[in-house]
Amino acid sequence: AQSVTQLGSHVSVSEGALVLLRCNYSSSVPPYLFWYVQYPNQGLQLLLKYTSAATLVKGINGFEAEFKKSETSFHLTKPSAHMSDAAEYFCAVSALYGGSQGNLIFGKGTKLSVKP
């Protein structure tokens, strides 16, 4: 079965510092990969997605992620953190086989805190 692992349940950065949120997936074939963001008391919003086109994907709010097949990774980065980036971030993979084919499988989330 496919799975997603997000390293670090909490990440804290200073405003203006680099944001790096890690995501590794397991899959026997290249999957579709996504990053979603959840602000407090809200639903999830799509940040960006990888669907086998360019390996460097740019999303909203200055975030980007790079698909690295050799490392089975899809880490999310932003060069300079802003206070408004404080939220929980979820990596997700689209299941390619099995009874839930096509459905998203989510990681457990990484809560990002931004210090002034």
Name 54's Cβ contacts closer than 8 Å, sequence gap at least 6. none
Nearest to 87 by CA among 1, 21, 32: 21
Per-residue binder mask for other proteins (CB under 8 A), 44-63, x = binder: xxx--x-x------------
Q: Which residue has the tokens 């997603």?
A: 4
- Chain-centroid distance of CA 48 in Å reads 8
The answer to whether residue 40 forms part of the interface with other proteins (CB under 8 A) is no
* Selected binder of other proteins within 8, 9, 80, 82 (CB under 8 A): 9
Among 42, 55, 61, 80, binds other proteins (CB under 8 A): 42
For 72, phi then psi, to 5°, come to 45, 50
Q: Which stretch in 15-23, 28-36, 65-73, 76-84 sits in contact with other proteins by CB under 8 A?
A: 28-36
Q: Could you list the residues that contact other proteins (CB under 8 A)?
A: 9, 32, 34, 36, 41-46, 49, 51, 90, 94-95, 99-109
